[in-house]
Structure 1
Amino acid sequence: MRRTTPITIAYTPDSDDAFYYDALEHGLVSMPGYRPRFRREPMAVLNREALTGTNEVTAISSVVYPAIAGRYAILSVGTSVGRGYGPVLVSREPRTLSALAGRRVGVPGVPTTGWFLLRTLCPGAVTVEMPFDEIAGAVAAGALDAGVMIHEELLYYPRMGLRRVTDLGAEWCRRHALPLPVGLNVVRRDLGSAGMRTVCTAISASLHHARLNPEPALARVSRFGRGATGGCTEQFVQMFANDDSQCMPADVRAALGVLLAQVVALGAGPAVPPIDIIEPAPATVAVA
């Protein structure tokens, strides 16, 4: 029997990330030479773990990359991109962005891309870090003045009686005339160039398989996020698991350079790293 090396792939407990890996997790696509196991943790946890290289492959907030570039390279597959949308700032009562200076605003981790956008567009806000799926409830209950919505909360918050203050992602896109790379998939450099390419190829094949067979994949991943009763899965997956996620296009690569330079200018990263992106092999990974 051919020996395989165990590898840990970590992603957020949300439907778009689960969609990327559905075929790999269910044995529909192989990763030659590796035996993947999967972990699901909130983005704030994955960002912290990336600082110490806990997982060979992990989702991260894009703004974290300057701090981990020495240990990880970027995969061309699995990027979450907002084209005119992104993290949304919401409140219970009508508010303006400027009125939130000095107010308590929930963010899904520090640093995360949602936190970064709030920090850039409303630097006077008092950020309160909390689990992403508890922020909307805290805003609705009046425990927070506002909150940054990510994942399926982007689509669900109106059902909780909350109002949009501003789409932070849309504002970033408008100001820069670029799409917003919200999140990245990264791979540890110690796998070597061949190993990193094998991983990228397998994940690319997994996402391609799910996109060719969306109904069973969506049915399986609908348990994540707000679940089947939330009714957000298909729309959310279309927003963040699409052509941009299959292979990072040129304008997203350019946008990533702009975003990372802003992160460093804000003092949230040590230096602007090279945009070092791993591409899949030309051949398609064999179906298991």
Structure 2
Amino acid sequence: MKIAYSPCPNDTFTFHAWAHDLIPGAEPINVTYADIHITNHWAIDGTGPEVMKISYATLPWVLDDYALIPCGGALGRGCGPLVLTAGGTTDPASLSGKRVAVPSEKSTAYLLFRLWAADHVPGGVGEIEIMPFDEIMPAVRDGKIDAGLVIHEARFTYQNYNLTMLTDLGEWWEKDTGFAIPLGAIIAHRSLNLEKIEEWIRSSVEYAWAHPEVSRDYVLEHAQEMSDDVVKAHINLYVNKFTKDLGEEGYQAIEALLGRAAKEGIVPSFDMKKLRSYK
């Protein structure tokens, strides 16, 4: 079975056991490491592996062919995207007409940014530039872009680039709605044995928690020169109870985000029932 997920610590930690044949009875997997901007488009185009990590924001485009697996993903509190600038300002109005770099136009981060900017940036922002997430902070620091929308471990390292956090979109979302932030979703093609895939992913999460030291070398191999402390903070933040099981709280958060985005015309309308169904 082919699967694609990012090289970020939360994904390599979560899937280590399955990727290394440590889950009894699980089908072996062939892993492709890809940025979520790439997997989002693979899912939409139908050109990707059978199982993928994508943005929750991309689900409305793909739910006819792919099912949401209720484990293995990233959804939580205190883990939202940040809007960064180099000028020291925290005034949202400063973004009016400015160029902003984002990691993907179909990412949850960008969806949250669009919802937030509609209420906080007079006249709206200017040009949006798609940029690999690891290039955004240097581009903001060097003045190549006016502001950057960052995800992943950037929330722990942006100070190293002398950048200022203009807003924490996760904090805004949580205060505005009371819900956790849906970030990365695990999807699988509806033609597969989805119940088994769910079982194997959940077992991989449980194994990672029970034996955190076993995955260490694998995680660090793909951690893009992150320090041990940043890797641990990253995992602790993004691998949580929702990674094991979305539960009702998780599903409600997803429905709130995508329902609001569909109402605003940011994503296409879709059958909300498909979020919870394998059929």
TM normalised by structure 1 equals 0.88
2: CA distance between counterparts of 1:94 and 1:228?
25
Q: Look up the match of 1:57.
A: 51
CA RMSD of aligned residues (A): 1.7
Q: CA deviation at 1:161?
A: 1.1
Counterpart for residue 220 of structure 1 = 218
Distance in 1, matches of 2:198 and 2:169, equals 30
User: Residue 41 of structure 1 corresponds to which residue in structure 2?
Assistant: 34
Equivalent pairs counted in the alignment come to: 269
Q: Distance in 1 between matches of 2:261 and 2:97?
A: 22
Q: Secondary structure at the match of 1:215?
A: coil
Q: Partners of 2:227 and 2:170 in 1: how far apart?
A: 26
Instruction: Label 1:278 to 1:214 Cα distance change in 2 as closer, same or farther (>3 A).
Output: farther
Q: Relative to 1, partners in 2 of residues 1:77 and 1:278: Cα closer, same or farther, differing over 3 Å? A: farther
Conservation of the 8 A alpha-carbon contact between 1:81 and 1:240 = yes
| Structure 2 partner of 1:122 | 117
Offset, 1:177 = 0.8
Q: 1:63-113: per-residue Cα shift (whole Å, max 9, x none)? A: 110110101111111121131430011111122222101111110011111
Instruction: Classify the secondary structure of the residue corresponding to 1:90.
Output: strand
Amino acid in the other structure paired with 1:73: A
Say whether residues 1:112 and 2:107 are aligned partners: yes
Structure 1 pair 228–118 and aligned structure 2 pair: CA distance change class (3 A) = closer
Deviation for aligned residue 1:275: 4.7
Partner of 1:276: 275
- Is the 8 Å Cα contact of residues 19 and 28 (structure 2) preserved in structure 1? no
Q: 2:133, 2:228 → 1: CA distance?
A: 16
Q: 1:134 to 1:257 in 2, by over 3 A?
A: same
Is the Cα–Cα contact under 8 Å of residues 76 and 278 in structure 1 kept in the other structure?
no
Q: Which consecutive unaligned segments of at least 5 residues does structure 2 have?
A: 119-123
3-state SS of paired residue (1:122): helix
What is the CA deviation profile of residues 234-288 of structure 1, one whole-angstrom value per residue up to 9, with x for unaligned ones? 1110111121111112212111111111221232322233253479xxxxxxxxx
- 1:215 maps to a residue whose letter is E
| 1:11-50 Cα distance to aligned partner (Å, 9 max, x none) | 0121101111101112211454x33111111111000000
Identify the residue that residue 152 of structure 1 maps to in structure 2.
153
Q: CA separation in 2, counterparts of 1:225 and 1:148?
A: 20
2:63 touches 2:274 (CA, 8 Å); kept in 1? no
Distance 2:160 2:14 in 1: 27
- For 2:250, the equivalent position in structure 1 comes to 252
Which residue of 7, 11, 16 corresponds with 2:10?
16
Paired with 2:260 and 2:36, the residues of 1 have a C-alpha distance of 20
User: Does 2:170 align with 1:176?
Assistant: no
Moved more, 226-235 or 97-106: 226-235
Partners of 2:207 and 2:28 in 1: CA distance = 19
Q: Letter of the 1:51 partner, please give it.
A: I
Identity %: 27
Residues 107-135 of structure 1 show CA distances to partners (whole Å, capped at 9, x for unaligned) of: 00111111111111114123211101100
Aligned to 2:68, the other structure's residue is in SS state strand
Q: Which residue of 1 aligns with 2:196?
A: 198
Q: Offset at 1:209?
A: 0.4
Instruction: List runs of 5+ in structure 1 lacking aligned partners.
Output: 1-6, 280-288
| TM-score (norm. length: structure 2) | 0.91
Q: How does 1:68-79 map to 2 (within 5 A)?
A: 68-79=62-73
Say which is worse superposed, 266-275 or 14-23, in terms of deviation. Answer: 266-275
Matched AA of 1:119: R
Deviation per CA, 1:208-230, whole angstroms, max 9, x where unpaired?
A: 10111112323420233443447
Specify the code of the residue in structure 2 equivalent to 1:80.
A
Secondary structure of 1:9's match? Answer: strand
